[in-house]
Amino acid sequence: METQQSKAMDDSETEQEGLAETIMARRFYPSVLGSEAWEGYTFSDLEIRIKESTDLYGAVLWPSAMVLCHFLETNRDEYNLTDKNVIELGAGTGLVTIVSSLLGAKVTSTDLPDVLGNLRYNVMRNTKNRCKYIPLVTELFWGPEAEQRFPRATHCFDYILAADVVYAHPYLEELMDTFDHLCQANTQILWAMRFRLDPENSFVERFRQRFHLEELYDLPSLRIKLYRAWTKAEGTKGRGEAAA
Ligand SMILES: C[S@@+](CC[C@H](N)C(=O)[O-])C[C@H]1O[C@@H](n2cnc3c(N)ncnc32)[C@H](O)[C@@H]1O
């Protein structure tokens, strides 16, 4: 006989699968291809067109970005981005930057120099005349550069957004230091994480030693989790409450 506990687990798995399907259904493809290839997404009741290329990690849109955008759009009362200072790390093709800008945030969108051209193009194409604040697209190589480009005395972010920035690359420590540097007393990190190999798991464990970590979504079919995190530094409010 089915126990109450196994029924609850089945219900939650079905719910998660439904959520994963809903999120992935936000992507559509143009029925008629013109001279330029793009993929379409719908967020904030608007069509967003993203141009990808296949030669770089950051030139492709990864499912984690869609998960984070879905969360931001469907939780906009609790995580109200209007007029908030937001920085995105590893913005890639720019969907998260675009959706947060459409939701009213002042966004600084960062990535490596090689992907900035395409990122800037997508961001401008999808935010022009649609957003309260024009997003700033700028270079950031994780590590010491974060301190030089965004000194804590003059740059205070309400949110740090990141989608699929942890994988088998050689800059995981620099990424951790960048989160650490940018995350101040009232900053919240919203981070969508795709699990592939061991480096991802050990990064989460090391991250948990430095930050408070809360799991917001667990989507096994996509192997993605969405986390909220905030600093453990002494003298802070402790729970990184959503900025008012
Ligand atoms: C897997 S892609 C994810 C892109 C985008 N966030 C998404 O979900 O579609 C990882 C991103 O991290 C960026 N990245 C990788 N190493 C980096 C580093 N050392 N400093 C800054 N960005 C880096 C890549 O250029 C790329 O845009």
85-143 pLDDT tens trace: 999 999 999 999 999 999 999 999 999 999 999 999 999 999 999 999 999 999 999 99
- Cβ-count burial of 1 within 10 angstroms (0-12 exposed, 13-18 middle, 19+ buried)? exposed
The closest alpha carbon to 79, from 103, 98, 108, 43, belongs to: 103
Could you give the residue ranges of the DSSP H alpha helices within the chain?
4-24, 63-74, 95-102, 113-127, 145-149, 172-182, 198-210
Q: Residue whose CA is closest, atom 4 of ligand 1? A: 92
Report whether 67 contacts 16 (CB < 8 A): no
CA distance 88 to 212: 19
Looking at residue 244, its pLDDT comes to 47
Using the predicted structure, report yes or no on whether residue 4 has a pLDDT greater than 80.
no
CA distance 17 to 15: 5
User: What residue ranges line ligand 1, CB within 6 angstroms?
Assistant: 57-58, 61-62, 64-65, 90-93, 111-112, 115, 140-142, 163-165, 169, 171
The DSSP letter of residue 134 is P
Using the predicted structure, report yes or no on whether residue 55 has a pLDDT greater than 90.
no
CA distance 233 to 183: 10
Which CATH class, in words, describes the domain spanning 4-231?
alpha beta
Q: Residue whose CA is closest, atom 26 of ligand 1? A: 58
CA distance 120 to 101: 13
User: Which residue has tokens 């992935």?
Assistant: 24
The pLDDT > 90 percentage for the chain reads 69
- Cβ-count burial of 178 within 10 angstroms (0-12 exposed, 13-18 middle, 19+ buried)? buried
What is the distance in A from the centroid of ligand 1 to the CA of 11?
Answer: 35
Per DSSP, the three-state class of 50 is: strand
Question: For residue 175, what are the contacts with CB-CB under 8 A and spacing of at least 6?
Answer: 89, 142, 165, 166
Looking at residue 60, its pLDDT comes to 78
CA 6 vs CA 9, 14, 29: distances in Å: 5, 12, 39
200-211 pLDDT tens trace: 788 999 999 999
